[in-house]
């Protein structure tokens, strides 16, 4: 992860890193896994959770620069054994 200050949205934007929050998915997905910092170009995120991946996709509406971008849960896949 990048060490860009969370208090400075202009700096984050300049380096292409945004804050995101994950909505939906399993209720037992830990709170600390629901916020991330990712590249501005990311459209999808997958989170390892109980033997599978929870998939999230970027919401369609643009968010103000100082608010986290919302990624919504789209489904789950299991890890192949």
Per-residue model confidence as pLDDT tens for the chain (81 residues): 444 445 555 554 556 888 999 999 999 999 999 999 999 899 999 999 999 999 999 987 666 667 889 999 999 999 887
- CA dist 23 and 20 (Å) reads 10
Spatial neighbors of 37 by CB under 8 A, at least 6 apart, are: 1, 2, 4, 12, 17, 18, 19, 20
* Structural domain spans, the chain: 9-78
Q: What is the per-residue pLDDT for 81? A: 72
Q: What is the pTM of this model?
A: 0.74
């Amino acid at each position: 992860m990048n060490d860009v200050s969370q208090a400075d949205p202009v700096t984050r934007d300049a380096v292409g890193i945004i804050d995101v929050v994950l909505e939906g998915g399993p209720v037992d997905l830990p709170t600390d896994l629901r916020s991330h910092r990712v590249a501005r170009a990311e459209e999808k995120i997958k989170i390892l959770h109980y033997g599978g991946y929870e998939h999230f996709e970027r919401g369609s509406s643009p968010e103000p620069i100082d608010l986290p971008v919302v990624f919504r849960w789209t489904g789950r896949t299991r890890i192949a054994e």
